[in-house]
Amino acid sequence: MTAPLIAAEGLVKHFPVRQDVFGRVSAQVQAVAGVSLAIAPNEVLGLAGESGSGKSTIGRLLLRLLDPTDGRISFAGQDVTALHDRGLRPFRRQAQIVFQDPIGSLDPTMTIGAAIAEPLRLQGMANGPELRERVGALLQAVALPAGYYNRHPNELSGGQRQRVVIARALSVDPSFIVADEPVSALDVSIQAQIINLLEEMRTRRGLAMLLISHDIALMEHLCDRIAVLYLGRVMEIGPARDLVRAPRHPYTEALVSAVPEAARAGRRRIILRGDIPNPANPPAGCVFHTRCPYAQPDCSRIVPEMRPVASGHLKACLRDDVP
Amino acid sequence: MVDVIATQHLTIGFGATRVVHRLSFSIAAGEVVALVGESGSGKSTVALSLMGLLGRSASVEGSIHLSRKNGETCDLLTLPERRLRAIRGNDLAMIFQEPMASLDPIYRIGAQITEALAVHRPMPQAALRTEALRLLRSVAIANPEACLSAYPHQLSGGQRQRVMIAIALSCQPRLLIADEPTTALDATIQAQIIDQLRQLRAETGMAVLFITHDLGLVREIADRVLVMYAGRIVESGPTEAVFGAPRMPYTAGLMRSRPRLFAETPVRIEPIPGNVPNPAHLPPGCAFHPRCAHSQPGRCDSGTPEPEACAPGHQVCCLRWREIVA
Amino acid sequence: MTRRACGLVLILAVTFAALFAPLLTAYAPTQTGVFFLAPPDAAHWFGTDDLGRDVLSRVLHGGRASLVIGVGAAFVACVIGVPAGLLAGYCGGRVDLWATQVMNLCIALPGLVLALLITAVTGPSVLNIVLILGFVSWPRVARLVRGQAFLIREALFVEAARAAGADAVWIVPMHILPNVAGVIAAQFALTVAYAIFTSSSLSFLGLGIPPPSPDWGGMVRTGLDYLSINPAMGLAPSAAVGITVLGFYLLGSGTRG
């Protein structure tokens, strides 16, 4: 693999869930528990997982919108973990975010033009007529009419708003984007427009992307590699098509088989028992063992290490023989 | 097969805006019918109208005939509210996308289930409890005793939806209306719930109207599918017929706009251009024509297509379906 | 007509009457006459008071002081309350904890009693009343702004701005303030209503604007003594207070909803 654009090592994030009367933390959720990832330039890495898997938290940690409890983040070879405020400015120009909710991610009091211009102004990259011109070009790039410049978000449909959000993220010409469920709030017939737009931007601008999603089919389509998360830990990571077609971790297998289309393709349906455990109190050993159809006595004692199963394909599972 | 429910020219409007246009469909006993549509297609409005829960601001025309458990058939739109209440939760039950919103946060689960039971099936307190436990077991709640004394917020999303299903099933309804019941749930939990619904259908023989926007899910659970666009059913038929050979360009477009799992070669997906229309400003003619690659000026933008049978049980609303096939 | 429009109409009417009071009446508010406590007639629509002054003229002129006090107090309340609320809501944590305690303390103090105490010590003047009423009303503004700022701080668009390199100096004026402006406007109107009402109460209790300038609360107080002779003397200024407070209340509550 080429030198990574962005890399995280041993990322840990705790959130306080309970505080006593004096504001002291008495319980914590381990949202992210030791995650290491690397994304190469122009690569799309997918983060798959269910609620409580910590996938959105990882996205925000990588962008330094949250401070990690432990671990290191480096961008283009430079350690950005310890940087703050002003020191982060150059990194902020390189790394942007697209959210799931196209309503909440635009300020209702700001015009579309002002929203797209905001990162450019913050980074001091353009002003005056040049700023207006660049915003116009961005509107065009995401296939929105130039007349939308002075409109407000409430005048736009969900798909159009998501285009604005993408234009805003692209305005500073970043090299890395975190897309957190970029299409799941959109109508099915609109999703494809946004998926294609993201793909086009990636090819045309050489973007690297972290795609956070629960949609396995979308990830297989859009990603080069996929990392599967469960309770803040990576269960399996590997080339997208290999991982989806031939999962090597029992959790990945169940996740893929839960996609309705998988059953029609002849996949055996695996119904997992029970619910996702409380991240404040994760099971001992392998965190998945409470729901794993292949669990053995060892699984509740030994924490499995990530180990390679094929070239560029790793899993954290004690068993070799399954699935 | 007897139709459990049949609508004729069901038309629903709010003020000057018509959101559902002349909808006619029926669901037979034991059948799972999926109502598919995007936001603003009117699918949830249809569900609420079947339950008689639309409220006074809606104007409803047409008819909704329900064949009740006691053998009588009645038009739900002409019944007084008092009689509708007896039917809701008894012959008809509904589960929603967000189970937290349908459970009262200040009562224990046990109280909420027994309340639902007591309304329609009066029985002694001890029997109520036994029956509540049986219901929770039937929806595969792992620890039913603990669940009875829990408050809604103490349960996970999947458990709450199971409880909602248990409440819905408590009176053995003829028809269960499920409005996006798994959309808010995780994939592995969705798989559990769908599995559960399928089993319950087989055991109880109830009919299910499954409302969703997820085509993959429809293909997995539905016997028949109704595709809605802008308040009309634009295509309907047996699930495999509709998805195997979609005749309405909208249905076909929806299928092409989703990435396919296990696709042989990475194919570029084809979006449907434009936006979902606002029900208050529907395009003239076929509501889909501005987004349709096959639309013909002077034809699709003037005449409203009526449902036509293109195969046995398979109906399509498209002026050009014959030419498109050829 | 919406609540807001009703409120606006009332406020405009009251403001118009106060502003053009000299043109609307034939008598100066302090001009005494020979007819004391005359009941309403064609010459004096609301009759005259105990010193023979035209009640209508005094009611219209009295609106000026009330409006100045109301708007002034609301302005003072916002000048203190908005920054305090923004600071508490945006910073959160310890700052918020302390700010909230101070707000709660101030809210717990009974406004009217406090105003009475302070005016008793400092002596009544328009400026003093404005400052005092502004000071007792700021926590309500602050608390509301804090709550909104707290919500908006968590909004995705704020996170997106942070991801683009924005700090508090950018986010507060660009995102938080525009989004709380509506709430501030609403609370401003409600505070005007509160201040007019309270200042009238103060005057009624004898701690209002010093005579002889007309002022509604004082007029009600004197009018009460002569209720059986010229009822309009007490009722007219009461109604004026009612209409003005209602106007600002409707505007404020309508804006919020």
Each residue's pLDDT tens digit, C193-241: 888 888 888 888 877 777 667 788 788 888 888 888 888 888 888 898 8
pLDDT in the model for residue C122: 81
| Helix or strand holding residue A32 (H, E) | strand A25-39
Q: CA separation (Å) from B153 to A195, B107, B164?
A: 36, 10, 14
Cis peptide before A323 (omega within 30 of 0): yes
**The pLDDT value given to residue B122:** 83
- Average of pLDDT values for A260-266? 81
Check if the beta carbon of residue C111 is closer than 8 Å to that of residue C143: no
Interface of A with B (CB under 8 A): 50-51, 157-160, 187-193, 195-196, 199, 214, 216-218, 220-222, 244-245, 254-265, 269-272, 274-276, 291
Q: Do residue A192 and residue B213 have CB atoms under 8 angstroms apart?
A: no
Q: Decide: A and C in contact? Rule: 3+ Cβ pairs under 8 Å.
A: yes
Q: Count of residues for chain C?
A: 257
Flag whether pLDDT at A187 surpasses 90.
no
**What residues of B are in contact with residue A230 (Cβ under 8 Å)?**
none
Spatial separation of the C-alpha atoms in residues B194 and B171, rounded to whole Å: 20
pLDDT (0 to 100) of residue B119: 81
> Hey, which residues 55-74 in chain A have their CB within 8 Å of chain C?
60, 63, 65
Please say whether the beta carbons of A156 and A166 come within 8 A. Answer: no
Query: CB atoms < 10 A from the CB of A229, how many?
Result: 24
Per-residue pLDDT band for B224 (boundaries 50, 70, 90) equals: very high
Q: What is the pLDDT of residue A22?
A: 63
Residue of chain A nearest B183, judged by CA positions: A184
CB proximity B240 to A under 8 Å: no
Give the separation between CA B143 and CA B32, rounded to whole angstroms: 29
Residue A19, pLDDT score? 66
Min Cα–Cα distance to chain A from C71, Å: 26
Q: How far is B312 from chain A (nearest CA, A)?
A: 24
Best CA proximity match to B304, nearest among B323, B326, B282: B282
Choose from B7-21, C51-65, C87-101 the range with maximum mean pLDDT: B7-21
Q: What strands, in cross-sheet order, belong to the sheet with A6-19?
A: A25-39, A6-19, A70-75, A78-79
Q: Which CATH class is domain C3-15+53-256?
A: mainly alpha
The mean per-residue pLDDT over the stretch A246-268 comes to: 88
Question: In this complex, do A275 and B158 lie within 8 Å of one another by their Cβ atoms?
Answer: yes
- B159 at A interface, C-beta within 8 A: yes
Question: Residue A193 above 60 pLDDT?
Answer: yes
Half-sphere exposure for B238 (CA within 13 Å, toward CB) = 7
Domain boundaries, chain C: 3-15+53-256
The pLDDT value given to residue C175? 92
Determine the pLDDT at residue A11.
95
From C100's Cα to the closest Cα of chain A, the distance in A is 15
Where are chain B's structural domains?
3-222, 232-259+269-325
Which string of DSSP letters, residue by residue, matches B2-42? -EEEEEEEEEEEETTEEEEEEEEEEEETT-EEEEE--TTSS
- Is the predicted pLDDT of residue C43 greater than 80, yes or no? no
Helix axes A112-122, A158-170, angle to 10 degrees: 20
The pLDDT value recorded for residue B121 is 80
Q: In chain A, which among 139-168 make CB contacts under 8 A with chain C?
A: 165, 168
Nearest-CB residue to C157 (from A65, A89, A104):
A104
Chain A residues with CB inside 8 Å of B213's CB?
187-188
For residue B242, give the amino acid letter.
V
Domain residue limits, chain A:
6-315
CATH topology of domain B3-222: Rossmann fold (3.40.50)
The subunits that touch chain A, with at least 3 C-beta pairs less than 8 Å apart, are B, C
**Per-residue model confidence (pLDDT) at position C252:** 83
With contacts defined as CB-CB under 8 Å, which chain C residues touch A63? 163
Of A157, A258, A263, the CB nearest to B187: A258
pLDDT value at residue A18: 67
Identify the band that residue B193 occupies on the pLDDT scale cut at 50, 70 and 90: confident
The reported pLDDT for the residue numbered B85 is 87
When mean pLDDT is compared across A67-81, B160-174, C31-45, C162-176, the lowest value belongs to C31-45
Confidence of residue C127 (pLDDT cuts 50, 70, 90): confident
The mean pLDDT of chain A is 90
Q: Which chains touch C (3 or more CB pairs under 8 A)?
A: A
pLDDT at B182: 84
Whose CA is closest to B303, among B282, B283, B324, B286?
B286
Cβ contact (<8 Å) for A172 and C164? yes
Show the beta-strand stretches assigned E in chain C.
none
Residues of C in contact with A108 (CB under 8 A): 179
| % chain B with pLDDT above 90 | 37
pLDDT at residue A105 is higher than 80: yes
Contact A39, A46 (CB under 8 A): no
Q: Do C165 and A63 touch (CB under 8 A)?
A: no
Span A144-154, average pLDDT:
91
Q: Which two tokens stand for residue B133?
A: 């436990």
Distance CA B47, CA B12 (A): 11
> Distance (Å) from the C-alpha of residue A7 to the closest C-alpha of chain C?
18
- Chain B: partners with 3+ C-beta pairs within 8 Å: A
Q: Please check whether residue B283 is in contact with residue B300, taking contact to mean a CB–CB distance below 8 angstroms.
A: no
**Chain B from 44 to 73: CB within 8 A of any A CB:** none
Q: What is the predicted pLDDT for the residue at C61?
A: 86
Q: Looking at CA atoms only, how far is residue A65 from chain C in angstroms? A: 7
Pairwise pLDDT comparison (B26 vs B86), residue with the higher score: B26
List the single range of B7-21, B109-123, C167-181 with lowest mean pLDDT.
B109-123
Phi-psi region of B229 (alpha: psi -120 to 50; beta: other; left: phi over 0): beta
Residue C257 pLDDT level (bands cut at 50, 70, 90): very low
Distance from CA of B114 to the nearest CA of A (A): 24
Whether the Cβ atoms of residue C123 and residue C83 lie closer than 8 Å to each other: no
**CATH classification of A6-315, choosing from 3.30.70.20, 3.40.50.2300, 3.40.718.10, 3.40.50.300?**
3.40.50.300
Does the distance separating the beta carbons of A92 and C163 come in below 8 Å? yes
Asked whether residue A309 carries a pLDDT value surpassing 60, the answer given is yes
Write down the pLDDT at residue A20: 64
User: What is the pLDDT at residue C25?
Assistant: 79
Closest CB to A122 among C97, C164, C179: C164
Using a CB-CB cut-off of 8 Å, the residues of chain A touching B216 are: 217, 259-261
Predicted local confidence at residue A301, as pLDDT: 93
Residues A275-287: what's their mean pLDDT? 88
The partner residues of A313 in beta bridges, in order of sequence, read A310
The pLDDT mean for chain B works out to 88
Q: Using CB atoms and an 8 Å cut-off, which of residues 98-137 of chain A contact chain C?
A: 99, 101, 104-110, 115, 118-119, 122-123
To the nearest whole Å, the CA of A137 is away from the closest chain B CA by 20
